[in-house]
């Protein structure tokens, strides 16, 4: 006995039930023509992941029901094909093997997967373990299922194979997989929508390897690809044999119809085989995640392009390189807006980089606007020394100019602040924080430097070679809002700052623990205080791409008003 199993590792769009359904049907027809017996789609593929409070709207669920019925009808003629479709489902909505119209209630919604064969839903499985941590809110919308799902597929020669179906989090626990095997499963199929963060791909494979070793059954992991608001799904679907060895892995950060071959093993059980895509470095994964996040946020929301302020510094240079890789140079525009404190080499480096990547570049001297604002405020500030107020005026003038271009031409403003700045509030409300999408808000400053060097050594999207001038990478970072300013004037060394942020913000280590690890108390106290007092700024920041296991977004839900100081 031999058969083919495929994964539709596709980029589905939240709320586009018609488009998603059409993509599933197209993939099913292609799979059937290629002799595939089982096609797996990712978790909630029919409606996209995650639809958030759209799940609370009855009309949304009704549209999912209609789309599932349409997929069933459109694949009725695909003899021999079994199709697994992820979708939201109201319990007891299936009568026998037919679909009927749902009621208006969404109470008790399941995160489900239906098995379609010859135009009929023959099984519907409800996810049993609902994650409610990090970016997940599944208990807000779903109730857990309470039983396993094992379905039998007839294959050539009159034999059959039994598939145990799991949905994402189910496979991180022992019981669901064990119950599938007890019910006779020969192979485990896990459909997923598991957001990317650095290192998550290896973590998934190790977790699935534990399931395989515990059950002795091969496993196929079907994953989603694409960007959805702040989260990115990297694909990287894979298969493990009954010994837990990686035998197939799909490409990361790209759509793919991933295929494996299953056959009887000489001594019983099943063998599984396929092609293995090469692994990426950590920097490569981060780069592809950022590019995919920008491309899908702008593309799925219908923006014609992007605009950003190019300062001659490393953060804006990195964002520009990402944007060009994501969109192409013709859809990216930059504005250099020098102030009285902007160094001449900053202007030179900005011009150099814009020329290297081939984007439209304009310069607007903001001195007239700066002087006008100071003149208007002079009666109020009489006798007071200049301070951060005047510094922030420059950033806010730039924000106004960028937003004006966005309003006039429709392009979205990409902000350029990094995670180190977001953590400590080293950013200006309505200034450099003004915009629609924060590309590197979850990338620490030390990682910014590593990514810049990686991109200068690699050109994965065949846009511009060596796009970031070396002087931008080697110069001390500065906001250039006062004479001779550098970032380190008011912040600890970035290696220290980023380590403290990681320990405290990402891993919930206490200040006392950090001091015990050898960090100076004054550095710890300063960074922790800055994180605490700048929550009000972060609440007003644009959404941005999540690439760590804890970002300033859905992962981080701290009160603005709080007396807690540890």
Catalytic residue positions, numbered: 43, 127, 168
* Chain Cα centroid distance, residue 212: 27
Q: What backbone torsions phi and psi does residue 352 show, to the nearest 5 degrees?
A: -60, -45
Secondary structure E strands in 387-536: 412-415, 437-438
Q: Say how far apart CA 254 and CA 7 lie, in whole Å.
A: 13
DSSP label at residue 444: -
Q: Which pair of tokens denotes residue 179? A: 């119950």
Phi and psi (nearest 5°) for 558?
A: -105, 145
Q: Which of 2, 21, 20 is nearest to 11 (CA)?
A: 20
Q: Please enumerate in sequence order all residues whose Cβ is within 8 A of that of 308, keeping only pairs 6 or more positions apart, or say none.
A: 316, 319, 320, 323, 332, 333, 334, 335, 402, 413, 414, 415, 416, 435
Please give the Cα distance from 393 to 371 (Å, whole number). 10
From residue 170, how far is each of 143, 238, 404, 479 by CA, in Å?
A: 13, 17, 48, 47
Please give the structure tokens belonging to residue 129: 């373990």
State whether residue 305 is helix, strand or coil: coil
The rounded distance, in Å, linking the Cα atoms of 166 and 129 is 10
- CB atoms closer than 10 angstroms to residue 30: 14
Question: Which is it for strands 82-89 and 36-40: parallel, antiparallel or unpaired?
Answer: parallel
Task: List CB contacts of 97: < 8 A, sequence separation 6 or more.
Answer: 120, 121, 122
> Which H helix or E strand runs over 38?
strand 36-40
Report how far Cα 131 is from the mean position of its chain's Cα atoms.
17
**CA–CA distance, 88 with 109 (Å, rounded to integer):** 7
Rounded CA-CA distance 180/166 in Å is 9
Q: Tell me what percent of the chain is helix, strand and coil, each rounded to the nearest 5.
A: 40, 20, 40
């Amino acid at each position: 006995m031999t058969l083919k199993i495929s994964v539709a590792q596709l980029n589905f769009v939240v709320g586009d039930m018609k488009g998603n359904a059409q993509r599933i049907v197209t993939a099913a027809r292609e799979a059937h023509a290629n002799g595939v017996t089982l096609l797996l789609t990712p978790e909630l593929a029919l409606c996209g992941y995650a639809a958030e409070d759209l799940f609370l709207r009855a009309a949304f669920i009704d549209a999912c029901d209609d789309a599932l019925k349409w997929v069933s009808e459109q694949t009725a003629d695909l003899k021999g094909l079994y199709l697994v479709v992820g979708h939201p489902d109201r319990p007891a909505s299936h009568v026998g093997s037919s679909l009927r119209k749902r009621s208006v209630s969404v109470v008790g919604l399941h995160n489900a997967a239906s098995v379609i064969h010859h135009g009929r839903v023959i099984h519907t499985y409800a996810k049993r373990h609902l994650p409610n941590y990090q970016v997940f809110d599944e208990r807000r919308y779903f109730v857990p299922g309470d039983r396993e799902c094992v379905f039998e597929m007839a294959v050539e020669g009159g034999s059959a194979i039994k598939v145990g179906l799991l949905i994402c989090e189910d496979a991180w626990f022992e019981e669901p997989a064990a119950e599938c095997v007890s019910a006779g499963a020969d192979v485990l199929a896990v459909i997923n929508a598991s957001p990317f963060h650095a290192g998550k791909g290896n973590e998934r494979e190790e977790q699935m390897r534990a399931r395989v070793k515990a059950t002795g059954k091969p496993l196929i992991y079907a994953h989603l690809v694409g960007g959805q608001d702040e989260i990115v799904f990297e694909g990287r679907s894979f298969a493990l044999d009954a010994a837990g060895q990686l035998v197939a892995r799909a490409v990361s950060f790209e759509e793919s119809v991933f295929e494996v071959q299953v056959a009887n093993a000489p001594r019983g059980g099943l063998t599984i085989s396929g092609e293995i895509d090469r692994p990426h470095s950590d920097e490569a994964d981060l780069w592809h995640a950022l590019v995919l996040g920008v491309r899908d946020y702008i593309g799925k929301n219908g923006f014609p392009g992007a605009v950003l302020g190019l300062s001659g510094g490393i953060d804006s240079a990195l964002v520009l390189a990402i944007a060009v890789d994501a969109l192409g140079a013709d859809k990216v525009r930059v504005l250099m807006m020098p102030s009285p404190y902007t160094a001449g080499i900053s202007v030179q480096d900005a011009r150099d980089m814009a020329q290297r990547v081939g984007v439209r570049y304009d310069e607007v001297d903001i001195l007239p606007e700066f002087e006008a604002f100071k003149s208007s405020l002079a009666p109020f500030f009489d006798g007071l020394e200049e301070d951060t107020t005047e510094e922030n005026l420059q950033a806010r003038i730039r924000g106004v100019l960028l937003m004006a271009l966005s309003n006039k031409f429709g392009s979205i403003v990409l902000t350029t602040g990094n995670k180190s700045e977001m953590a400590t509030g080293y950013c200006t409300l309505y200034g450099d924080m003004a915009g629609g999408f924060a590309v590197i808000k979850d990338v620490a400053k030390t990682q910014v430097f590593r990514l810049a060097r990686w991109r200068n050594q690699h050109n994965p999207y065949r846009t511009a070679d060596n796009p970031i001038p070396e002087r931008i990478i080697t110069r001390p970072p500065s906001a250039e809002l006062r004479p001779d300013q550098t970032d380190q004037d008011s912040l600890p060394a970035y290696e220290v700052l980023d380590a403290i942020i990681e320990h405290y913000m990402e891993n919930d280590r206490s200040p006392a623990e950090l001091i015990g690890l050898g960090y100076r108390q004054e550095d710890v106290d300063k960074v922790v205080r800055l994180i605490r007092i700048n929550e009000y700024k972060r609440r007003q920041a644009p959404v941005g791409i999540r690439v760590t296991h804890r970002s300033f977004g859905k992962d981080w839900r701290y009160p603005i008003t709080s007396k807690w100081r540890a």
